[in-house]
Amino acid sequence: MDKKMRKRHVFIAAAIVVILLWMVSFFSPEGAIRRYMVLHLHPISAFTSNMTDMGRYDLQYGHLYDVSGYSARTTRDALSVFYVKKKGPFWYVSSVGSAP
């Protein structure tokens, strides 16, 4: 019975950590980009990609970030341009593509 309870506690602790990391990802632009990558089935790229704030802001798309090390699974094209927007305290990816 003790092993069963320990496994349950470990599982609950892991679930809490995942939920907390998910919640924290909404509060930074880099976190929003990493969350986008994980949701699009690129969990390794989410941790290995380099992100650079390009210091540009577009009224329609938002803040421009250059990301190296991320590509589309279907076409294998590099997707290096991310635009992120802030709505209240939360960040989200508004557009993704390749550089012109």
List pLDDT tens digits, range 28-72.
999 999 999 988 888 888 889 999 999 999 999 999 999 998 887
- The per-residue pLDDT for 84 is 96
- The per-residue pLDDT for 100 is 62
Residues 81/66, Cβ–Cβ less than 8 Å: yes
Q: Rounded to an integer, what distance in angstroms lies between the CA atom of residue 74 and that of residue 51?
A: 22
- In the structure, what pLDDT confidence band is assigned to residue 1 with cuts at 50, 70 and 90? low
Model pTM score: 0.78
Q: Rounded to an integer, what distance in angstroms lies between the CA atom of residue 99 and that of residue 87?
A: 25
Average pLDDT across the chain, whole number: 87
Percent of the chain with pLDDT over 70: 98
User: Mean of the pLDDT values across residues 86-99?
Assistant: 90
